[in-house]
Amino acid sequence: MRRIAVVGAGQAGLQLALGLVAGGYEVTLVAARTPAELRCGPVLSTQAMFGPALRIERAARLDLWADEAPAVRSVDSVLVTPPGVRALEFTMTLDEPAQSVDQRMKLARWLELLAARGGRVEYRTLDRAGLRKLAERHELTVVVAGRGELAGIFERDGDRSPFDAPQRALSCLYVHGVGSPDPAAGPRARMHALPGAGELYLQPALTLSGPCAILLWEALPGGPLDCFADRPSPVAQLARIRELLHTYLPWEAELWAAAEPTDAGAGLYGAVTPTVRRPVARLDGGAGEVHVLGLGDALVVNDPITGQGANSAARAADAYLRAITEHGDAPFTPAWMRDTFERFWRQHARHTVDFTATMLTVPDHLQGVFAAAAQHDDVARRLANTYAEPSDHAAWLAAPESTEAYLASVGR
């Protein structure tokens, strides 16, 4: 039985560990927080998951909340300019519904499931020396932790990293009691783009206390929506959000009259520099060479504007699981590690990086897509499903010529 260690208990790390245990591997997972600490702690992400990622979870018997989480089939999109004016509107329809499950409850339950299915879970944090000791005891060590000291062990790939600074300041809040503009239409996500200020996303979700809404502000640094640097409490954050809504999105403000934070840990703040790192790290400090393989946020970090985080994590874990299984009893060499990541990069990760860069920078041809989506349902549907399958970005959004050709075909 081959021994594999996984460091990091997020979507990618736990999914990979559970898949390896199901495949008969001896697995040790190192997690920073216990299930109880996760459930009582602050929210971790927005984690909207689209059809392809949800199918991976179903196949692995990990979709434990499929019947409870709201099924989101469309996104109402509004271009707002100047503040308070709905300049352009369209609805993006997904071919498969999306869902969002609070990662506090999801990861806590998966940790318990891993232990119940025979995996070894160690609750501790690791420095580089501790990581090397762990790797020396296992045939393969996969590092998924994207923060702290271990995040720096993988070298930044400048050729693949499109930015060297955060493109948005992020503020997220989980709330109960947000109204719907059309209750009969069922759960819908809402997206508002405010040129020169940023974006607002509202995602129906499931949290510890039941169905909720997740609000994500994507503020241009230094702009009028970038006003949460002091990291207020959820109650103060909600009050500030109401003020912004009254000024910039008054029709949304009406729907927030009865809103309240879901719990004391409902708020989340941050800023992400979209980054790609090299997949293999060599650990010094002992006799002989020891190498570890990166996965998920340890290697590829995207701004959440396209909702790719949990989706990419699920797809990366699935790709790595297949690569490990197909490798049989052969040694896990640095060359194999690089090849494993490169396959995933070509098939998926490069498309998420490119798609996210396009949505962050909003080039002229993308503005043309928004205008066409307001006139043609087919354009709006294709844009929606590019979020679910980012590889389609290369076919129609990556270059102005491709976009123009597609829009011309729709016009005909």
How do residues 1-42 score in pLDDT, each as one tens digit?
Answer: 899 999 999 999 999 999 999 999 999 999 999 999 999 999
Task: Say yes or no: 55 and 95 in one domain.
Answer: no
Q: Are residues 296 and 153 in the same domain?
A: yes
Confidence band of 118 (pLDDT split at 50, 70, 90): very high
CA-CA-CA-CA dihedral for 403, 407, 409, 412, to nearest 10: -160
Q: Which two tokens stand for residue 379?
A: 């354009």
The residue from 255, 271, 287 where one domain ends is 271
Residues 267 and 123 in one domain: no
Tokens, residue 6 = 């996984």
Q: What is the pLDDT of residue 61?
A: 95
Q: Report residue 411's pLDDT band, with 50, 70 and 90 as the boundaries.
A: confident
* Cβ atoms 47, 100 nearer than 8 A: yes
**Residue 175 shares a structural domain with residue 196:** yes
Examine the domain organization and report whether 265 and 216 are in the same domain. Answer: yes
Residues 133 and 158 in one domain: yes
Residue type for position 247? T
Same domain, 260 and 377: no
Q: Could you tell me if 287 and 404 lie in one domain?
A: no
State the CATH number of the domain containing residue 308.
3.50.50.60
Alpha-carbon 360 to chain mean position: 15
Residues 388 and 348 in one domain: no
| Rg value, the chain, Cα | 21
* Domain contains 95: yes
pLDDT in tens, 39-80: 999 999 999 999 999 999 999 999 999 999 999 999 999 999
Q: How far apart are CA 380 and CA 93, in angstroms?
A: 7
How many Å from the N-terminal Cα to the C-terminal Cα in the chain?
Answer: 60
pLDDT for 141-173, tens place per residue?
A: 999 986 777 878 999 999 999 999 999 999 999
Co-location of 149 and 202 in the same domain: no
Reported as a pLDDT band with limits 50, 70 and 90, residue 82 is confident
Among candidate residues 271, 287, 318, the one where a domain is terminated: 271
Q: Which two tokens stand for residue 88?
A: 């352009």
The two structure tokens encoding residue 256: 């927030």
Per-residue pLDDT tens over the stretch 102-111? 999 999 999 9
Residue spans of alpha helices (H) in 60-102 = none
Task: Tell whether 176 and 244 lie within a shared domain.
Answer: yes
Tens of pLDDT, residues 279-294: 999 998 777 889 999 9
Total domains present in the chain: 3
Separation between Cα atoms, residue 218 and residue 271, nearest integer Å: 9
Chain segment 205-263, per-residue pLDDT in tens: 999 999 999 999 999 999 999 999 999 999 999 999 999 999 999 999 999 999 999 99
Same domain, 49 and 127: yes
191 — phi, psi (to 5°)?
A: -130, 130
- The pLDDT assigned to 287 comes to 74
Mark which of 271, 297, 314 sits at the end of a domain.
271
- Whichever domain contains 178, its CATH number is 3.30.9.40
67 within some domain: no
Tokens at residue 185, please? 């239409």
Segments forming the whole domain that contains residue 308? 3-62+101-163+274-359
At 386, list the tokens. 């590019």
